[in-house]
Structure 1
Amino acid sequence: MSRQLSLHLMDTHAGGDVSRIVYAGVKALPGENVRQQMEYLQHQADGLRTLLLSEPYGIPEMSVDLLVPATNPQAVAGYIIMEVMGYPIYSGSNTLCTATAVLELGVVPKQEGRQQFMLESPAGLVQIDAEIRDGVVESITCEGLPSYIDSYQQTILVPGLGEVTYSIAYSGGFYALVDAAELGFNLTLDEEARLSVCAHAIIEAIRIEQNFRHYSLDDVGPIPFLHFMGPVENPAKGQYQSRSATYVHPGVICRSTTGTGTSARLALMQYEKRIVPGDTLETCSLRETRFVGRFTGLSQVEGQTLVENSITGKAYVLNRAEIIVNADDPMVKSDGLGSLLYPLD
């Protein structure tokens, strides 16, 4: 392997969650579509994910989005999402960041006003609506995955916590939804460390007791997410607000409320008959950042009622950088990266 390899990144964030957009330096991946390319990385070339989410290059709280050529002619680009928990097939905050990067990198030339295009995620095509004002990407609205409630108001005995009530939603991954107040939380920033410990205990207990299967994807792995729900306020007709916090196993409290977490909340609110199509839910994070989810309609697939939804937020560009991977650096695990990355020019 060459002693030095090179990657080009654009670091972005949406709601505080940093997404590292890898836009150059990775060789073409095998696979007939983006989902198969993701599975290749997952099972045969996981070194890129661990490299960019570990010291000295990154931390587990970040995410990585690898831009790849779209395999569907309707899409302008494909992207593969990598997080501490592995390879989610979809993520709202990562989609917001990737769509912004596609515009900032010129993959899609910016146009003033409303701009629409498609991205190809491992979950399939994603409609993007961008608002551009004076050359600035002011907001991105992306489709959330159709979401549903798998189980409602279950209880489990959690060591150190006692009996915990939770519901399970699917919105791109399986979520445990819990009432923050019932667990003694106000969802303020000073509670972040305790929220992580609490969520870890609940997820570990659920993982021991049961596994969840998607109605069409079947087994998608152990449950990775927990969403703490604050009280729901209703400041205007059809508009709802709630403090929220999303946990990713193992050990990460997201900086934003997350798009998939917001979609999971919409699924629960619809299940409880609290919202109708057109209603919105604004989720607010521990850091006071916000995403807006919109309930856009219902559909039926294979006997499952699905909540169609969209997520709106804003992403910011933090920097552009070239990452140099040194094979002789004792802190860097570079095994296998020589066949994936290009050598430094």
Structure 2
Amino acid sequence: MPFSRTITVVGCHAEGEVGDVIVGGVLDVPGKTMYDKLVHFHTHKDSLRQLLLNEPRGRSSMNTNLVLPPCDPRADAGFLIMESEEYAPMSGSNTICTATVLLETGMVPMVEPITEIALDTAAGLVRVTAECAQGKCKSVSFDNVASFVFKLDYKVHVPGLGEVAVDIAWGGMMYVLVDAASVGLSICHQQGPQLVAVGERIKRAVQASYTPVHPENPRIRGVSILEFTEPLTQEEGGCKVAVNTVVTSPGRFDRSPCGTGTCARLAVLHARGLMQEGEILKHRGIIGTEFISHIRGTATVGEYAAVLPTVKGRAWITSFKQVVLDSSDPFPEGFRVGDQWHMEPN
């Protein structure tokens, strides 16, 4: 067989968001931390991400996770998160997918009814608790890294919109958070194209005017993702409920309620006095699925007051596949087409 590359992948989604997991065919790379390994792949081996996420093997609305040996001795496994435009330091839906694949395939032993594991990410150690029965992960919750707010009500001039107030927060990725109604929109499928276009425009305006820097890892800098929000409501049983949708480059929605986006929002809500420790937030996404979250404690990160968020969701394995690259394929790193990828003009 004239294949120059063969990669073993387990297909998976968490509450609708695709987070496939590479389990074979890729060797480890040097690095004292998982962030070092992230940088190595980005600078030296980015062809892997391009091959798997670009067409014809991938699409704009998917992610791929790479399981690697951990750098932190407390972890059971390490993994890197590859998205269409970046390597995310942390992702909730991808953590849930990766934990589910590790346990359901037996790469990490499953213990019923509760399995506890630790995963080494580029954002730090993340502890995971999986509810398990009959070989299935019924749910996965993760204790995320500390999340905090850089700016509340930051004013930014957006071409075509004028001045827009946004919040900027870290939840494992750098987020811009925008009240959808403040720009004349609501979170619904019918306004999908407008939400994506406006969200990308606001994000670019923030990128041009303000660069947040993580105080514990200054290599993590700049916003890369935007979250539209709607107001909190109260549900029976005392839980708070909110709807959001996250616009991720190159211009599409996160299909899940977004785990790191949930953490960033918890940090903002706590900073505004709208969410206290122990209160439950049911965060719902564009397709109606939800992550259940709470603030388990508080901390300080550099000069910032932070929250310690825990998020719970579900994932399902969808396929077992061998992804190959024929040595004569004219697109060894795939391609993108403007009808789906919302490509920027040159």
TM-score range, shorter chain: over 0.9
Deviations 1:114-161 (A, max 9, x none): 111111111222111000123221100011221111011122221122
Return the offset for 1:219: 4.8
**Are residue 273 (structure 1) and residue 273 (structure 2) matched?**
yes
Give the corresponding residue for 1:170.
170
**Two-structure CA RMSD over aligned residues (Å):** 1.6
User: Do residues 255 (structure 1) and 255 (structure 2) align?
Assistant: yes
Name the CA distance, whole Å, in 2 between partners of 1:331 and 1:249.
22
Partner of 1:196: 196
1:205 corresponds to 2:205: yes
- Measured in 2, the distance between the counterparts of 1:147 and 1:158 equals 26
Deviation at 1:308, TM superposition (A): 0.5
SS in 2 for 1:145: coil
Assess if the C-alpha contact under 8 Å between 1:212 and 1:219 holds in 2. Answer: no
Amino acid in structure 1 at the alignment position of 2:252: V
In structure 1, distance between residues paired with 2:127 and 2:266: 19
Structure 1, unmatched stretches of 5+, are: 335-345
- Displacement after TM superposition at 1:72 (Å): 2.7
Q: Is the 8 A contact 2:22 2:65 kept in 1?
A: yes
- Name 1:8's counterpart in structure 2: 8
TM-superposition CA deviations, 1:77-127 (whole Å, max 9, x none) = 110111122111111110000000000110122222111111111122211
Tell me how far 1:280 sits from its aligned partner.
Answer: 1.5
SS in 1 for 2:87: coil
- Give the aligned partner of residue 160 of structure 1: 160
Q: TM-score, length-normalised on structure 1?
A: 0.92
Aligned to 1:19: 19
Is the CA contact 1:144–1:259 (under 8 Å) kept in the aligned structure 2? Answer: no
**Aligned amino acid, residue 215 of structure 1:** P
Amino acid at match of 2:217: L
- The aligned counterpart of 1:332 is 332
Q: Is 1:97 aligned with 2:71? A: no
- Given that residues 129 and 142 in structure 2 are in contact (C-alpha distance below 8 angstroms), is that contact kept between their aligned partners in structure 1? yes
Q: Distance in 2 between matches of 1:69 and 1:301?
A: 27
How many Å apart are 1:236 and its aligned residue?
A: 4.3
Q: Do the aligned partners of 2:179 and 2:229 also contact (CA within 8 Å) in 1? A: yes
What secondary structure, in the 3-state scheme, does the structure 1 residue paired with 2:36 have?
Answer: helix
Task: Please give the TM-score of this superposition, normalised by the length of structure 2.
Answer: 0.92
Structure-1 separation of matches of 2:253 and 2:237: 31
Task: Compare 302-311 and 12-21 and name the one that shifted more.
Answer: 302-311
Q: Which amino acid in the other structure matches residue 37 of structure 1?
A: K
Corresponding residue for residue 283 of structure 2: 283
Q: Given the superposition, is the C-alpha separation of residues 20 and 160 from structure 1 closer, same or farther in structure 2, using an over 3 Å criterion?
A: same
Percent identity, aligned pairs only? 30
* 1:30-69 paired onto structure 2 within 5 Å: 30-69=30-69
Letter in 1 for 2:128: I
Amino acid at match of 1:310: T
Question: Any conservation in 1 of the 2:21–2:98 contact (CA below 8 Å)?
Answer: yes
Give the deviation of 1:193 after TM superposition: 1.7
Residue equivalent to 1:341: none
Question: Which 4+ runs in 1 deviate beyond 3 A?
Answer: none
- Corresponding position of 2:338: none
The residue aligned with 1:114 is 114
Give the deviation of 1:216 after TM superposition.
2.3
66-75 vs 195-204, which moves further: 66-75
Could you say what secondary structure the match of 1:37 adopts?
helix
Q: Quick one: distance in 2 between partners of 1:261 and 1:301?
A: 18
Conserved 8 A contact 1:81-1:88: yes
Task: Report how many aligned residue pairs link the two structures.
Answer: 333
How do 1:209-220 residues align onto structure 2 when only pairs under 5 Å count?
209-220=209-220
Alpha carbons 1:96, 1:314 under 8 Å: kept: yes
Which residues of structure 2 form unaligned runs of 5+? 335-346
String of CA shifts for 1:19-64, please: whole Å, max 9, x gaps: 1100000123122332222111011110011111101110122111
Corresponding position of 1:337? none
